[in-house]
Amino acid sequence: MAEEPDSPITRVDEGIRKRVRVIDGQRPWGSIDTGVSRQGFRRYRLVVFPPGISDVERRMLRLWRRWPIWGATVWLVTVIPFVGTPNSSMAVIVATILYVGSGATLFVMLGSVRTRVRALSVVLISGYSNPVAAAAYAELKASAAVLCAADALRDGGSISPVQHEALWWRVYDRLGRRTDG
């Protein structure tokens, strides 16, 4: 028996898929972050997860990396309703336990996966020439280009998931050599 396109079960499944997509992020291999300030600073950060990790580990890594923000939000949402009431000190205690407990839980559950994440950060300053930062930026751009091209080729069917992961490994290893030496 097939489900109707607009049945309650189908709507719930679609809602769950949308939430999982938000946690999964745009790219299975990690993320690219950029930022510009008014003072002329440009910040770039490439984060590459260890290839071969499961979807659950990847989601948990993303939650871990964003824990300070969402944990603080949970803390505030827990405390704010009780401000000015006799239970405010209890709310602060419960919120703090939730905040620290959620971070500690993710820390323990991720184990060694958390420490194998590789990242390359570069800050460029307008009007200031820094050859080391320029070389790091060139490497970041090249690595990000390989990973994004691998995504596009996999999505287009030009390469298999195994070939995609091989390209991911190549960038991951290159970042490891850079940070280790």
3-state secondary structure of 51: coil
Give the DSSP per-residue string, 129-177: --HHHHHHHHHHHHHHHHHHHHHHHHHTTSS-HHHHHHHHHHHHHHHHH
Distance CA 58, CA 79 (A): 30
The encoded tokens of residue 123 equal 């800050």
Write the pLDDT tens digit of every residue in 133-166: 999 999 999 999 999 999 999 999 999 999 999 9
Q: Where are the domains of the chain?
A: 27-49+119-181, 53-116
- Residue range 29-52, pLDDT digits in tens: 898 989 988 888 999 999 999 998
**pTM across the whole model:** 0.74
